[in-house]
Amino acid sequence: MNRTENQMLIIFGASGDLTARKLIPALYDLYLGDFLPENFAILGTSRSELSDEDFREKVVTKSPYLKDRLENGDKKRLREFSNLLYYQDIGGDYAEHYGGLKERIESLNRDLGTQGNYIFYLSTPPNIYEIIAKNLAEQSLSDDSEGWRRLIVEKPFGYDLKSAQELNRGLQRYFKESQIFRIDHYLGKETVQNLLVTRFANSIFEPLWNRHFIHHVEITNAEQVGVEKRGGYYDKSGALRDMFQNHLMQIVSLVVMEPPISDQPEEIRNEKVKALKSLRIMNDEKVLFENTIRAQYVASNLNGQTIKGYREEQGVDPESTTETYAAIKFYVDNWRWKDVPFFVRTAKRMPTKVTEVVIHFKGPHHHIFSSAGVSEKDNKLIIRIQPDEGILLKFGVKVPGQGFKVERANLDFYYSSLVETNVMSAYERLLLDAMQGDATLYARADEVEAAWEFVDPILDYWNNGRDVRMYGYSAGVWGPLNSGDLFDGSYSWRNPGENLADDPGFCVIC
Ligand code: BG6
């Protein structure tokens, strides 16, 4: 295991929702798991006026996100953990100089022995990332000559290619690229990382992982919820920016990439960038019309409950043309993937919450047995990212009895069967990696830009294209009526259920 050196984590935007909802519970789990170094402190900072004790109460002892733990008798440990937390006001504005903050950091560092090692976590709106980086640098807090300094930034990383490039340049003015950690919480998911292991730790999949054996690749990310209380943010973002450009492009890069020469962060990230750069960019309006579908959920009645349409949600423009459903078909222009279509979709207000990658293998080139329903019976490898995390391989078996009737069976693995193993939450894993300086699961500048390069023309077409459409779908169905139009021939989306083996197979081999 890597070593976690003594250090201090300084959270900007510490009075915000993300700190209480994700960061502090993840840090508490690291504390319980004994992953924190001996000398460790969390210093929250924001514009709110809070004392150390107010902050501890807000995000730990009275936090709704740790309520269950309190009720389950963790009181003593929670109290011990909360003593690791401190708070310092930043002043009226993040743009003010950080002299006060620096003094507090240095005095805590002296008292607690955190050895000048600091991580700055920016859980603030992205438009102030650069000013924070600048102010930190002005106080020599980015200078890692006496202890290391790291900067973690949250998504969204840019609004389009140009703004992402500007942000990269802006941050790199004050911190070196090796100090910048761009978080994408999907990379912290165990099952996303398992994509690499499935591909490169087995000798049975990789020989088939190419255009000769794969018919197409399908990736679904569905959420049952709508935009909830984030209408204001979401309406300026949409499914393509909110999920596709980051989380789904990361998954695509892991499916598409070539084998890295080792598991070193830069080796893996180099291959991911190459993968993203090989996606065929769609610029032609006809191509974009035929290969992209956007839609919005409309009001519906579901199980006797009325569900609001997207345009009626709080904070959303009643005439909004922001998509809550995005489905894209594209190709990858390289040796391995030539002519293999990728179908990737993400949406809110779907029938269930599920994320999965489905590798559809080509059928046998000569059919000996009855070929009825071939697409139904093709070999599929389903990598379930959430929920019911696991892997399922579908293959044909003979139905007992006369003749050769073929049915489909499932070979499966479920993470839940690893009862002994504590699976870390995404934030827990990613925070620990950053604390140890491991950037493998963080996005590099060129990776983010390559993803934007692919997404930008689609956004541009959706905003300005002549014949672009916005379809509607009732909350609780699998997208608009024409959502299958991206496929030709006998295929369509696999609309997965909550459980990995949701469709009746002939038998399950445990
Ligand atoms: C976030 C998006 O990045 O991911 C949200 O901003 C989305 O809109 C969330 O709901 C989904 O994350 P998960 O881990 O629940 O699939």
Min mean pLDDT across 26-40, 142-156, 365-379, 432-446 is at: 365-379
Name the closest-CA residue to atom 7, ligand 1: 243
The more confidently predicted of residues 355 and 92 is 355
Token representation of residue 389: 């995390």
- The finding on whether 356 has its CB within 6 A of some atom of ligand 1 is no
Quick one: pLDDT at residue 502?
A: 63
pLDDT tens digits for 381-433? 999 998 888 999 998 888 888 888 888 889 999 888 886 677 788 999 999 99
Strands 149-153 and 118-122 turn out to be parallel
pLDDT tens digits for 285-342? 999 999 999 999 999 988 888 999 999 999 999 999 999 999 999 999 999 999 999 9
pLDDT tens digits for 254-270? 999 999 999 999 999 99
Residue 261 CB neighbour total at 10 angstroms: 10
Min mean pLDDT across 232-236, 334-338, 358-362, 495-499 is at: 495-499
pLDDT tens digits for 455-467? 999 999 999 999 8
Between CA 116 and CA 41, with CA 153 as vertex, the angle to 5 degrees is: 35
Quick one: pLDDT at residue 505?
A: 32
Name the closest-CA residue to atom 15, ligand 1: 223
Which residues are identified as catalytic?
247
Question: Ligand 1 centre and the CA of 504: distance in Å?
Answer: 30
DSSP letters spanning 35-87: -S-SSEEEEEEESS---HHHHHIIIIIT-GGGHHHHHTT-HHHHHHHHTTEEE
Quick one: pLDDT at residue 388?
A: 84
In angstroms, what CA-CA distances link 333 with 178, 213, 273? 30, 17, 14
Strands (E) located in 168-227: 180-182, 214-222
Question: Ligand 1 centre and the CA of 27: distance in Å?
Answer: 20
Contacts of 248 (CB under 8 A, 6+ apart): 219, 221, 344, 346
- The finding on whether 378 has its CB within 6 A of some atom of ligand 1 is no
Examine the pLDDT at 509 and tell me if it is beyond 50: no
- The finding on whether 242 has its CB within 6 A of some atom of ligand 1 is yes
- The finding on whether 223 has its CB within 6 A of some atom of ligand 1 is yes
Atom of ligand 1 at shortest distance to CA of 186? Answer: 14
Question: Ligand 1 centre and the CA of 50: distance in Å?
Answer: 29
Return the best residue to mutate from 223, 240, 348 for the ligand 1 pocket (most ligand atoms within 8 A of CB). 223
Closest CA to 450 of 250, 293, 184: 250
Question: Ligand 1 centre and the CA of 415: distance in Å?
Answer: 21
Quick one: pLDDT at residue 504?
A: 34
Name the closest-CA residue to atom 9, ligand 1: 243
Average pLDDT, the chain: 92
Determine the angle formed by the axes of helices 249-256 and 265-277, rounding to 10 degrees: 100
Q: CA-to-CA distance for 493 and 350, rounded, in angstroms?
A: 13
pLDDT tens digits for 195-215? 999 999 999 999 999 999 999
Instruction: Delineate the domains of the chain, giving CATH numbers in brackets.
Output: 7-154 (3.40.50.720), 187-486 (3.30.360.10)
510 pLDDT tier (thresholds 50, 70, 90):
very low
